[in-house]
Structure 1
């Protein structure tokens, strides 16, 4: 049974990590037009708890790429030259990250469900 437990723990930790990643990707997408906004990224870390390998989301990191400069003299944040700093969010990258996180989440959910089904089948066999 401990192999089932290890598998369920690994799947559950990966589900939590991908959910955190998807949450930050959605924040990036929603703030793509916010002046001065920096893209957030979430690295994954392998950890061991009670002898079980797990993955968890690390600390949120801000993308240090330069912010885009946008020319709009009528914008309230525009400087003397008519420019203001936009965000460094690239929507194509965020959409690709969102799809990857969604697919990884679905794969881990499938693994969790299959492990649960195998465990239930084993219990039925042992009852006979």
Structure 2
């Protein structure tokens, strides 16, 4: 497959309580950024047959909290294709959230999901024929 604007990859992950670092079961915002790195890696494998290298973020917005017990999805979408660089838009959303007021293992599917982080970044892949 060749990298084209609009190509998208999504990962989902449960956030265990062991990942909360702050009061109220809050998980640090960097958790979403780590997921963005993972989803960007898969995207590059699909489009360029290489894991690529993350060059940097142009923009990061933390919009809502991530909590232990959440199920989140991280999506990467190619928005620009250069010779060796790819610009990617990222978004992470909470799709399920624990509901401890109803019981220790109660949880809800969120409809609509809560967007918690958005970012734009750049990855670099090898020139064609050098991988």
Identify whether the pair has TM-score above 0.5, normalized to the shorter chain. no
The TM-score with structure 2 as length reference comes to 0.28
Structure with the higher fraction of residues in helix conformation: 1
The TM-score with structure 1 as length reference comes to 0.29
Over alpha carbons, which structure has the higher Rg? 1
Structure with the higher fraction of residues in strand conformation: 2
